[in-house]
Amino acid sequence: MRLKYIGWFDINIETNWAVCRSDPTDGRALFTMISYLCIMQTSVIPIESHPLKPFLPEGAKILMLGSFPPKRERWSMDFFYPNFINDMWRIMGLVFFNDKEHFICKGVRAFDKERCAGFAAWKGIAMYDTACEVRRLKDNASDKFLEVVTPTDLHSLLESIPSCEAIVTTGQKATDVIVATFGCTEPPVGEYSEFTIDGRNMRLWRMPSSSRAYPLALERKAAFYMNMFKKENML
């Protein structure tokens, strides 16, 4: 058994079990032990790199940013918003085709990658996420349990799409990153704020999350997105 002495207690390095050497009610010992175990727990969680390249079609008018894709086993296609129970592509279907199943493969629980990517390129919708590397603190797709290890270089991303005039965030974590990066005002859900990047006038749209965990009916979410696309002259 490999032991490491840390102040008031021993740590079994192989199992992370802690044995207190002092009074277990000693607040200092307890705090030190908890702090050490938290650090150890974080250090063993693997870092995930973003599995997709930024989707940056020529002439892109808006850049849609989420936080990070779900785990691969939850994907139904090899493209952005791949989880079949995420409603982004149903929202797009309702907004542009009045058909929530427009991007769904017939008879299969999957989205049609070619149709989704072709549509986004046609409409000038760039897509990526605000993190390039993350740790998942829990085994789910919730933003609350994503630790950003390496944020996306958003300045470089925007330099690659000079026609883009608006960033559209599709979740709170993505919104927080944009606000922190560019120092802009966080708008209410469904609205936008204006800001400037390197002399370039931009709009930040904060949209409701397409996750079903977000407490809003699909049709109401689609109405918010429809309003945004209309104001961006894309509908």
Residues 62 and 38 in one domain: no
Residues 53 and 84 in one domain: yes
Counting beta carbons within 10 angstroms of the beta carbon of residue 14, is it exposed (0 to 12), middle (13 to 18) or buried (19 or more)?
exposed
pLDDT score recorded for residue 33: 53
Listed in order, strand segments (DSSP E) in 21-68 are 48-49, 62-66
Of 16-25, 41-50, 69-78, 155-164, least confident by mean pLDDT is 16-25
Residues 133 and 160 in one domain: yes
Residues 136 and 20 in one domain: no
The 10s digit of each residue's pLDDT in 92-136 is 999 999 999 999 999 999 999 999 999 999 999 999 999 999 898
pLDDT score recorded for residue 13: 45
Buried-exposed string 219-234: b where 16+ CB fall within 10 A, e elsewhere: eebbbbbebbbeebee
The 10s digit of each residue's pLDDT in 154-190 is 999 999 999 999 999 998 989 999 999 999 999 999 9
What band does 148 get if pLDDT is binned at 50, 70 and 90?
A: confident
Q: Give the residue with greater pLDDT, 22 vs 105.
A: 105
pLDDT score recorded for residue 136: 85
Q: pTM of the predicted model, to two decimals?
A: 0.80
Residues 93 and 12 in one domain: no
Residues 63 and 134 in one domain: yes
pLDDT score recorded for residue 198: 85
Which residue range is the domain that position 65 belongs to?
48-231
Residues 61 and 30 in one domain: no
pLDDT score recorded for residue 44: 76
Distance (Å, rounded) from C-alpha 140 to C-alpha 224? 26
Does 56 have pLDDT greater than 80?
yes
Q: What backbone phi and psi angles, to 5 degrees, belong to 135?
A: -115, 135
Q: Specify the number of domains making up the chain.
A: 2
Residues 116 and 212 in one domain: yes
Percent of the chain past pLDDT 90, that is, above it, reads 69
pLDDT score recorded for residue 140: 63
User: What mean pLDDT is predicted for residues 5-18?
Assistant: 47
User: What mean pLDDT is predicted for residues 11-32?
Assistant: 52
Residues 38 and 117 in one domain: no
Kindly report each contact of residues 216-224 with a partner whose C-beta sits within 8 Å and lies 24 or more positions away, as own/partner: 218/87, 218/90, 218/91, 218/94, 218/100, 219/94, 221/87, 221/91, 222/90, 222/91, 222/94, 222/95, 224/189, 224/190
Residues 15 and 120 in one domain: no
Q: Give the residue with greater pLDDT, 173 vs 24.
A: 173
Residues 68 and 12 in one domain: no
- pLDDT mean across residues, the chain: 86
CATH number of the domain bearing residue 133: 3.40.470.10
Distance (Å, rounded) from C-alpha 104 to C-alpha 83? 12
Does 1 have pLDDT greater than 60?
no
Residues 39 and 108 in one domain: no
SS3 149: strand
pLDDT score recorded for residue 84: 96
Distance (Å, rounded) from C-alpha 53 to C-alpha 50? 8
CB-CB contact of 221 with 204 (8 Å)? no
